[in-house]
A and B are shown apart, each in its own frame.
Chain A
Amino acid sequence: MADTAIWNFRQLAHHELDGFGGIGEGMSIQIAKDGRRILWLAHESAPKNFTAVDVSDPRAPKIVARADLPQSHMRSNSLETVGDLMAVAYQTKEQGLQPAGFELFDISVPENPRSICFFDCSGPHSRGVHQLWFADGEYVHMSSGAADFTPTHPKDDQFYRIIDVKNPSKPVEVGRWWLPGTQQGDSEAPPVRHPEGADTGFRPHNTNVYPERPDRAYLGYIDGGMVILDISDKARPKMVARWDYHPPYHGFTHTVVPFFDRNLFVVSDECVRTEGADWPKLVWIVDGRTETNPVPIATCPLPPLDHYMRKGARYGAHNLYENLPKPNAWKSDHIVLATYFNGGLRAYDTTNPYQPQEVGYFVPAPPERAPSGAIQINDVFVDERQVVYTVDRHVGGLYTLEMDF
Chain B
Amino acid sequence: MSGAFTRLKWTSEAGPGALFAGSDAPLFGRRQRRPRGPRLPVIAVTGFLGSGKTTLIRALLDKPEGANTAIVVNEYGEVGIDNALLRSSSDVTVLLGNGCLCCNIRTDLQETLRELFADRCRGAVPSFERVVIETSGLTDPGPVLQTFATDRGLGREFYLQALVAVVDAVSGEGNLARMPEARKQVALADRIVVSKSDLADRAATVRLLERIASLSAAPVAIAANGEIAASFLLDEPLATRQGFDIVDPRHTHGLCSFSLFFEEPLSWPSFEQAMAVLTALRGPDLLRVKGFIAVKECRGPVVVHFVQHVSHPPVELEDWPDGDRRSRLVFITRGLPREPVAQLFASVAAVTTAGAADPLVHYP
Contact = CB atoms under 8 A, between A and B. Distances in A.
A binds B: yes
Interface of A: 3, 5-8, 259, 261-264, 287, 289, 301, 303-304, 306-308, 333-334, 349, 351-355, 357, 359-361, 363, 404-405
Contact of B121 (A287, A304, A352, A353): A304
B154 to A, nearest CB: 15
Contacts of B174: none
Given A8-B38, A359-B38, A349 B24 contact: no
- B interface residue count range (under 10 / 10 to 19 / 20 to 34 / 35 or more): 20 to 34
Nearest to B29: A351
Contacts of B68: 6-7
Contacts of A354: 16-17
Contacts of A334: 30
Interface string B110-132: 00000000000111101101000
B22 A360 contact: no
B123 A306 contact: yes
A306 B126 contact: no
26 contacts: A5-B126, A5-B127, A6-B68, A6-B127, A7-B68, A7-B129, A8-B129, A259-B22, A261-B22, A262-B20, A262-B21, A287-B20, A289-B19, A301-B121, A304-B122, A306-B123, A307-B124, A333-B22, A349-B38, A351-B14, A352-B14, A352-B16, A353-B20, A354-B16, A357-B38, A405-B37
B38 A360 contact: yes
Nearest to A352: B17
A304 B118 CA distance: 10
Q: Which 5 A/B pairs are nearest by Cβ-Cβ distance?
A: A307-B123, A359-B38, A5-B127, A405-B38, A261-B22
Contacts of A307: 122-124
A8 B34 CA distance: 12
A245 B127 CA distance: 33
A337 to B, nearest CB: 13
Interface of B: 14, 16-17, 19-24, 29-30, 33, 37-38, 40, 68, 121-124, 126-127, 129, 156
Contacts of B121: 301, 304
B123 A353 contact: no
A398 to B, nearest CB: 22
B37 to A, nearest CB: 7
A351 B30 contact: yes
Nearest to B120: A7
A261 B14 contact: no
A357 B39 CA distance: 10
Select the residue from B33, B38, B129 with max chain A CB neighbours within 10 A.
Answer: B38
Given A3-B126, A306-B122, A357-B38, A404 B33 contact: yes
A261 B23 contact: yes
A6 B129 contact: yes
A7 B127 contact: yes
Nearest to A288: B20
Given A307-B123, A361-B127, 17 more contacts: A5-B126, A6-B129, A7-B40, A7-B129, A8-B38, A8-B129, A262-B21, A262-B22, A304-B122, A306-B123, A308-B123, A349-B38, A351-B17, A351-B30, A354-B17, A359-B37, A405-B33
Given A304-B121, A354-B16, A261 B30 contact: no
Contacts of B23: 261
B223 to A, nearest CB: 27
Contacts of A301: 121
Contacts of A360: 38
Contacts of A7: 40, 68, 127, 129
A287 B16 CA distance: 13
A263 B33 contact: no
Contacts of B124: 307
Contacts of A264: 20
Nearest to A360: B38
Nearest to B36: A405
A257 to B, nearest CB: 14
A357 B37 CA distance: 12
Nearest to A307: B123
B92 to A, nearest CB: 12
Contacts of A287: 20
Contacts of B127: 3, 5-7, 361, 363
A12 to B, nearest CB: 15
Contacts of B20: 259, 262-264, 287, 353
A258 to B, nearest CB: 12
Contacts of A405: 33, 37-38
A194 to B, nearest CB: 30
Contact of B24 (A3, A261, A263): A261
Contacts of A5: 126-127
A306 to B, nearest CB: 6
A303 B121 CA distance: 8
